[in-house]
Every structure is written in structure tokens, then in C-alpha cells.
């Protein structure tokens, strides 16, 4: 799990802290790996307290040190512990509490770093992250007096870094003329679509050529090599758009030339990243029924280690030689795509314990079906609502004193599941109320 290049702690006072954190991490991993029963808050909270205790001791040790010192093994193990605790909080349905923020904040920072490195991104990339950062800050503010100041300080520092980087990226897009925004976002989409074709199991030259046709249409709008407005003057930001257009041409040409084949020196890394990307893609499709948030830890760590193994931003082979432009961009695309999947899975996590997810998912499906019936014009008679009513009643009958029990436990997420149940009842009532009156007389 730990990179061999990570140094051990230099300060002997840090070694006992590392030893204790290693034991805590092992305990967290055991909880994560146990699929025989659902995870409970009472299993996670004592381990969270252990980690916080070690953080406070570590802060005391490092109080007078230079904070710019490189991370050692202790920092990486501590990060593992916080990542696991964060994902465990999500798994038990405590999404709106401070520890749950850690994993998402780490993923957002990775995404922003990669967007800055790529240099080309769309407003859609930033709008979701803007909303997510606001939600995370609201969570920290709400939990200010419920959790350790050591945790809150750590999370606030991370969110501040994300905010500064986000504002820097937003200022880059702000230089574009409004007339150029649509074209620019199309170019970003073409660049990414080309990379997607480049990493498919079966390469399709026709798809790349279709993307090049789109590029030609954009190229044809240039006047004397410039993006110009109605007055014939170059639009603000046209240089940036022109560079992106040229990059798209060069990348589609390179991809057609290589036909999806990567430099054999990086074949192993490529296959590992393709497998991670594909597994996360499958998870995103079946998420509601198969995702246990703690499962994301393994993907995060594999990606982090591959990402951190780069030298000055470049992938290098066993002999220290850098990758060519095709391998470099292909591997980076796969890493970024995978982080994007993890981000999407994290933000769509429901504040419901995994113990209640089967009921929650059934109600979500039932709600979707009822809304489709409503949008298609309702029902012809009340008998058509019997299957929905019977299913709702069967779920409702699972409650005891208004609560869903699993054994003797009352899992987190009761409010969310009860609210969903009430919504379904309301839709059924609306549909029944809209049945023609003559049906009632029959």
C-alpha cells in the first residue's frame, strides 16, 4: 500500500504515532473488507477518535517544525486512515458530517490539479465543483462544535486550497468572449472524445474522422486564422481557442496514426488504468445497487500511486526515460477519467446506511415508476394503482414505531427513507384523486 520511495519519519517521537496509526489502519481495513454484515457507526466512531488523538499528538510534535518538510510514511498512513474513515461515514449514511468530507475534498483537489495541468476545461467541469465546495463548507460550518478542531482545521485548509485553484481556473475561462464559449466547449469535448476512442478495446478510425469533420467546420469559421465577431475584430480569448483547435488537430492526427496502440514500455500501466476506468464505469451504472463507498478506497489508492509516480509531471519507464506525447496524454486521460468517476460516485452517495439501501432503492424505483405514470397522463381507474399501493404497504409494514430496524439496530438514514416513502404515498394519492368520477360509480 505504501510507496517504497516514501521515507520513514525522521523525528523519533513520530515513530510511536506511526505504529499506532498502522494498527488503526489495519482495523479500518478489516471493517472495510468484512462483507458478512453491514457497517455500523459504533464500529467506526472509536477508530475515528483514535486517529484524532494521534493527530493532536502529531501536531504537538510538529508545532515548531517547518511545515514545508516533505511528507513521510506517517503522513501517508494518516491520509489512509482519514480516507477510510471518510468512506466509512458515507457507507453508514453520515454523509452530512465533517469526517465524510475528507475523501471528497481529496478527490476535488486531484481533479482541480489535473484540470490546471491540462490547461483546457469547460465551465461544466467547474460548475459542479463550485457547488460541491459550497456544500462541503456548509457541512463544516454545521459541524463546527461537534468535531475536533484538528479535523476541522485540516479540512478547511484543504478546501481553501481547492477554492483558490478553482478561482484561478474560473478566471481563465472568464477571458473568453461569450460568443466563443460554445465553440470552446465543443473543442474541449472533441479533445476528450478523441481520447476516449483512443482507449477503447476496438479502435474506430471512423469516429476520429467524424470528430475531425467537426473540427473542419470550426476551422471554416475562422477569418484570416482568427475567431472574429460581427465587426470583424478578433474576439477576446481567440488565441486560447485557436491553440485548443490546433491541439485537437494534432491529437486526432496522432491518435489516427497510433490506432489505439500505446508504447510497449507503458503497456502495463495502460492496462492497469484501463481496468480501473472500466470497473469504475461499471460501478457508475449499477451504483445504487452495488456500490459500497469503502470499495472506492482501493481505486483511489491505485490511482494516487500511479499519479504520484510521475517525475516532473511525466510518466517514466523502468530506465527513467520519459513517455512520448501519445503515451503521456493517454495515461493522463485515463487517470483523470477515473478520478472523475470517483467524484461522481461520491457526490451521488445517498445519506442512508447500506443496511437501508435495499429499501431506499426500491422506493426510488417505485417513485420513478409513479412519476412516469403521472407524466404519461395518469391511470384510467384506481385498480391500476393496486400493485404500487401493495408494494408501498409492504414496505410501510416493515417499520416499527415509524422506524426501519435491522435486527435490533436502527440504521442511519431513517429520515431520508421515510421522506421517500411519504413522497410515493403522495404521488399515489394524486393519481387516485385524478381518476375520472365515473370510475368511482362502477
For residue 261, count other CB atoms closer than 10 A to its CB.
12
Position 9 confidence tier, pLDDT thresholds 50, 70, 90: confident
Position 8 confidence tier, pLDDT thresholds 50, 70, 90: confident
pLDDT at 68: 60
Q: Phi and psi for 322 in degrees, rounded to 5?
A: -75, 155
User: Which one, of 104, 80, 115, 105, lies nearest residue 337 by Cα?
Assistant: 115
pLDDT at 336: 97
Residue 104: pLDDT over 90: yes
Residue 441: pLDDT over 60: no
Cα separation of 281 and 284, whole Å?
Answer: 5
Q: Show me where the domains of the chain are located.
A: 1-94, 178-258, 357-441
Coil, strand, or helix at residue 428? helix
Q: Which helix (H) or strand (E) holds 434?
A: none
pLDDT at 414: 95
pLDDT digits (tens, 9 = 90+) for 83-92: 999 999 999 9
State the chain's mean pLDDT as an integer.
93
pLDDT at 147: 95
pLDDT at 1: 41
Give how far the C-alpha of residue 429 lies from the chain's centroid of Cα atoms, to the nearest Å. 37
Bridge partners, residue 316, by sequence: 322
C-beta of residue 335 within 8 angstroms of C-beta of residue 275: no
C-beta of residue 68 within 8 angstroms of C-beta of residue 3: no
pLDDT at 435: 87
**CA angle 19–140–121, rounded 5-degree value:** 95
Percent of the chain surpassing pLDDT 90: 87
Cα separation of 93 and 9, whole Å?
Answer: 35
Cα separation of 379 and 363, whole Å?
Answer: 20
Alpha-carbon distance values, 352 to 37, 84, 213, 391, 409 (Å): 16, 18, 47, 20, 14
User: Which one, of 131, 99, 130, 126, lies nearest residue 115 by Cα?
Assistant: 126
Position 288 confidence tier, pLDDT thresholds 50, 70, 90: low
Average pLDDT over residues 284-312: 90
Q: Looking at the whole model, is its pTM more than 0.85? A: yes
C-beta of residue 396 within 8 angstroms of C-beta of residue 359: no
Cα separation of 152 and 99, whole Å?
Answer: 9
Residue 387: pLDDT over 80: yes
Residue 290: pLDDT over 80: no
Long-range contacts of 377-385 (CB under 8 A, 24+ apart): 378/431, 378/434, 378/435, 379/431, 379/434, 379/435, 380/435, 380/436, 380/439, 381/435, 381/439, 381/442, 382/432, 382/435, 382/439, 382/440, 385/428, 385/431, 385/432
User: Which one, of 136, 156, 155, 9, lies nearest residue 82 by Cα?
Assistant: 155
Torsion (CA) 60, 62, 65, 70 in degrees, nearest 10: -170
Alpha-carbon distance values, 242 to 118, 183, 191, 251 (Å): 16, 10, 13, 14
Average pLDDT over residues 413-418: 95
pLDDT at 243: 95
Coil, strand, or helix at residue 404? strand
pLDDT digits (tens, 9 = 90+) for 345-380: 999 999 999 999 999 999 999 999 999 999 999 999
Counting DSSP H helices and E strands in the chain, the numbers are 16, 2
pLDDT at 64: 67
pLDDT at 35: 87
pLDDT digits (tens, 9 = 90+) for 21-50: 999 999 999 999 998 889 999 999 999 999
List, in sequence order, the alpha helices (H) in 98-177.
98-118, 123-142, 149-174
Amino acid at each position: 500500500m505504501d510507496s517504497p520511495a516514501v521515507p520513514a519519519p525522521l523525528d523519533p517521537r513520530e515513530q510511536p504515532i506511526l505504529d499506532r496509526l498502522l494498527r488503526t489502519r489495519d482495523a479500518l481495513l478489516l471493517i472495510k473488507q468484512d462483507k458478512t454484515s453491514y457497517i455500523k457507526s459504533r464500529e467506526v466512531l472509536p477508530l475515528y477518535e483514535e486517529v484524532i488523538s494521534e493527530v493532536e499528538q502529531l501536531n504537538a510534535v510538529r508545532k515548531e517544525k517547518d511545515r514545508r518538510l516533505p511528507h513521510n510514511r506517517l503522513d501517508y498512513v494518516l491520509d489512509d486512515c482519514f480516507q477510510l474513515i471518510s468512506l466509512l461515514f458515507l457507507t453508514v449514511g453520515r454523509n452530512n458530517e465533517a469526517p465524510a468530507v475528507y475523501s471528497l475534498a481529496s478527490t476535488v483537489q486531484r481533479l482541480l490539479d489535473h484540470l490546471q495541468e491540462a490547461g483546457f476545461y469547460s465551465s461544466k467541469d467547474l460548475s459542479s465543483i463550485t457547488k460541491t465546495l459550497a456544500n462541503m463548507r456548509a457541512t463544516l460550518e454545521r459541524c463546527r462544535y461537534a468535531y475536533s478542531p484538528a479535523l476541522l482545521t485540516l479540512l478547511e485548509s484543504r478546501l481553501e486550497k481547492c477554492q483558490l485553484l478553482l478561482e484561478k481556473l474560473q478566471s481563465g475561462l472568464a477571458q473568453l468572449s461569450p460568443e466563443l464559449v460554445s465553440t470552446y466547449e465543443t473543442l474541449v469535448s472533441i479533445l476528450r472524445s478523441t481520447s476516449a476512442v483512443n482507449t477503447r478495446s476496438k479502435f474506430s478510425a471512423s469516429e476520429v474522422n467524424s470528430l475531425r469533420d467537426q473540427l473542419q467546420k470550426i476551422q471554416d469559421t475562422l477569418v484570416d486564422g482568427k475567431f472574429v465577431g460581427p465587426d470583424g475584430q478578433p474576439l477576446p480569448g481567440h488565441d486560447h481557442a485557436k491553440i485548443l483547435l490546433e491541439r485537437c488537430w494534432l491529437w486526432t492526427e496522432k491518435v489516427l496514426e497510433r490506432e489505439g496502440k500505446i508504447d510497449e514500455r507503458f503497456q502495463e500501466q495502460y492496462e492497469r488504468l484501463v481496468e480501473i476506468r472500466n470497473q469504475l464505469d461499471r460501478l457508475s451504472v449499477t451504483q445504487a445497487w452495488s456500490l459500497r463507498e469503502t470499495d472506492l478506497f482501493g481505486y483511489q489508492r491505485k490511482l494516487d500511486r500511479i499519479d504520484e509516480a510521475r517525475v516532473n509531471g511525466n510518466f517514466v519507464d523502468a530506465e527513467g526515460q520519459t513517455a512520448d506525447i501519445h503515451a503521456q496524454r493517454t495515461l493522463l486521460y485515463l487517470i483523470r477519467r477515473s478520478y472523475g468517476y470517483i467524484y461522481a460516485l461520491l457526490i451521488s452517495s445517498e445519506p442512508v446506511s447500506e443496511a437501508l439501501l435495499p429499501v431506499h432503492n426500491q422506493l426510488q424505483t417505485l417513485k420513478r415508476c409513479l412519476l412516469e405514470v403521472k407524466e404519461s397522463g395518469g391511470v384510467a381507474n384506481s385498480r391500476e394503482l393496486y400493485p404500487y399501493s401493495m408494494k408501498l404497504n409492504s414496505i410501510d409494514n416493515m417499520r416499527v414505531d415509524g422506524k426501519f430496524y435491522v435486527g435490533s439496530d436502527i440504521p442511519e438514514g431513517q429520515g431520508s427513507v421515510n421522506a421517500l416513502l411519504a413522497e410515493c404515498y403522495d404521488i399515489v394519492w394524486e393519481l387516485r384523486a385524478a381518476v375520472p368520477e365515473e370510475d368511482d360509480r362502477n
